[in-house]
Amino acid sequence: MSEDAECRDELRTARLLLGTRSAAGESSEGVLGVRAVRAAVRRSPAPMRPRRLAQQVARKLGRLDYEPAVAVPLQLARRAVLGSAAQAPPRFLVRVDEFPHYLAWDDPDSYGVERYRRFHTIMASAGVPYLLATPSRVSRAPLCPDEHEWRALQPTEQAVLGKLAGEGVAFALHGRDHRTRFASPRRHSELCGLEPAALERLLDEALAELADMGIVPEVFVPPFNRFDAGQYSALARRFVVVCGGPESIGLVGFQRTPVWRGEAVYLPSYFPLYGRASDVLPAARRLIEAGTGLWTPIVLHWGWESDAGWSELERLVATIAPYTAGWGEFLAAVRASGDDDER
């Protein structure tokens, strides 16, 4: 990547972090001269494999969790430019994986429509908007790469999706059928290893199938949080935001969040904000108390919350509801930060 392209990404990331020029008190370009800002938004390419492995170890040791590795440097950057105005409520971006559930065919009693409706009722009653990761098909035995059977979304599943757009839900493409290409749990991925033409075909087929249901997602959530670093450009051509998670570190390295990379914003979520509601809640409370003012991605799995009996989810959403942002608001901020006209 050229130096100009890297600087462009860093400038866009700074705009997303700091907001408008008037809020920053100086030009968007000028803030890159502030040491704390430049350090926080520095564009880092996907590291070589030994470095990625070291980052994975650091993540397991808690050194690359969200608070120390993301929130602290981004808060320092905001304070360096905004002063006391940097103190503001966090803006939680809640992502939910996934409906239809990847086990909806294998275990419909546990992960079918009725269980998801219970989850959505809890979220909607609390007033928490969220992004729903949605595959365009459902696989049989999706963790078995030698299995090939899949089905289209059933009418009941399509009917649920049809109601959600008016109830605070945005949509992300969550692959085509959520089937792993590799048997090892450490390598589960629907995308990794695909040749460029096969990747393009998979994405376009999945988008067309969702479009037939009236769903046009602007966000991508990779199944199993895994995609090859070289596949990012194909994703960025199709989506405004590309998401990730802890597993992404092993493939694209640790990156702060959100950050502009090429033509899309990369938005990974990290522990403890990626996990069960019981793990997310204490961290969310700390971030609210700290007044971070940051776009802060939280990832929940409704199947996990169903298995846990819903009570921890209810406690979490009651706490974060006043601080959650709609995904439309975030996408508008992304577009504004990517506007390269004179600001």
The helix/strand/coil state of 92 is: strand
Q: Over 70: is that where the pLDDT of 332 sits? A: yes
Stretch among 43-57, 115-129, 194-208 having the lowest mean pLDDT: 43-57
Stretch among 26-35, 181-190, 282-291, 323-332 having the lowest mean pLDDT: 26-35
**Cβ-contact 315, 110 below 8 angstroms:** no
pTM assigned to the model: 0.95
DSSP symbols for 113-129: HHHHHHHHHHHHHHT--
Q: Looking at residue 25, what is its pLDDT? A: 47
pLDDT band, residue 26 (cuts 50/70/90): low
**Cβ-contact 243, 224 below 8 angstroms:** no
Give the percent of the chain with pLDDT over 90: 91
Q: Looking at residue 342, what is its pLDDT? A: 38
Q: Over 50: is that where the pLDDT of 333 sits? A: yes
Q: Looking at residue 28, what is its pLDDT? A: 58
CA pair distance 261, 6, nearest whole angstrom: 8
Token representation of residue 130: 């969220």
Q: pLDDT tens, 95-132?
A: 999 999 999 999 999 999 999 999 999 999 999 999 99
Phi, psi of 2 (to 5 degrees): -70, 160
Q: Looking at residue 24, what is its pLDDT? A: 43
Q: Over 90: is that where the pLDDT of 165 sits? A: no
Using CB atoms within 10 Å of the CB of residue 306, give its burial: 0 to 12 exposed, 13 to 18 middle, 19+ buried: middle
Higher pLDDT, 55 or 24: 55
Q: Over 90: is that where the pLDDT of 27 sits? A: no
> What number is the average pLDDT over the span 253-266?
97
Hey, CA dihedral for 156, 161, 163, 164, is it positive or negative? positive
Using CB atoms within 10 Å of the CB of residue 289, give its burial: 0 to 12 exposed, 13 to 18 middle, 19+ buried: exposed
Q: Looking at residue 22, what is its pLDDT? A: 38
Phi, psi of 184 (to 5 degrees): -65, 130
Q: Over 70: is that where the pLDDT of 242 sits? A: yes
Q: Looking at residue 128, what is its pLDDT? A: 98
Give the percent of the chain with pLDDT over 70: 95
Can you give the C-alpha Rg of the chain in angstroms?
A: 19
